[in-house]
Amino acid sequence: DGGITQSPKYLFRKEGQNVTLSCEQNLNHDAMYWYRQDPGQGLRLIYYSQIVNDFQKGDIAEGYSVSREKKESFPLTVTSAQKNPTAFYLCASRVWAEVNYGYTFGSGTRLTVV
Amino acid sequence: EDQVTQSPEALRLQEGESSSLNCSYTVSGLRGLFWYRQDPGKGPEFLFTLYSAGEEKEKERLKATLTKKESFLHITAPKPEDSATYLCAVEGRGSNYKLTFGKGTLLTVNP
């Protein structure tokens, strides 16, 4: 079955440590997105990529970095510059510029600072 | 800037008690309005996309409607398994194909 795979499901980060969250899709979708979800808040866009080797900052990009070397993969690195990284991280994808289609989400990674 | 406001924040229903969730939005040219269901600790599950005022879509006990300012998600005769957070999001024509989400409505259906 086609879908989006996020790993790991749970991740623990020590102070000052960089960690990378994986997002892989086999839907042949062009665009991929990273969102952050905090309790009582809507999903907030961190970074997005519409084509390979290109990506744009979202609303809360500070302290995060991404790469898009392959169409299928869009990893997110949470750097030590992100002061409050504890959150639920969601990856999504869609067919580029195709409106008659819903965004597909992964099952999420819960990151906790210890 | 696109904005989405969902109400109520939380809704508690008895099994079989029909109700509606509201999603008010402001957007510079609506490309699409999306409804998602999210269970605790899971990613959002796609329900509907609506594109123009007057459009309606149904799926089992759920029906989504759209006007120029808001969307409603009607739940008919809900069951306990309908308990979840329901998220609304819009994609505006000026958004460069990005979604703006509301904070969601937490629905609890008691047996």
- Cβ-based neighbour number of residue A111 at 10 Å: 21
64-103 in chain B: CB under 8 A from chain A: 87, 89, 91, 96-103
Chain B residues with CB inside 8 Å of A44's CB? 101
Smallest CA-to-CA distance from A29 within A110, A96, A76, A87 is with A96
- Structure token pair of residue B3: 């904005």
Taking the CA atoms of chain A, what radius of gyration do you get in angstroms? 13
d(CA B42, CA A94): 19
CA B22 to each of CA A70, B67, B97, B104, B107: distance values in angstroms, whole numbers, following the listed order: 39, 11, 23, 10, 12
Residues of chain A with C-beta less than 8 angstroms from the C-beta of B51: 99
Query: What does the pLDDT read at residue A83?
Result: 86
Mark which residues 45-104 of A lie under 8 Å from B by CB.
45, 48, 50, 56, 58, 88, 90, 94, 96-97, 99-104
In this prediction, residue B37 carries a pLDDT of: 97
Least confident interval from A99-103, B38-42, B54-58, B89-93: A99-103
* Per-residue pLDDT reduced to its tens digit, A9-61: 999 988 889 999 999 999 999 999 999 999 888 899 999 999 999 999 999 99
Question: Per-residue pLDDT tens for A52-89?
Answer: 999 999 999 999 999 999 999 999 999 988 889 999 99
Q: pLDDT digits over B65-94, tens only?
A: 999 999 999 999 999 999 999 999 999 887
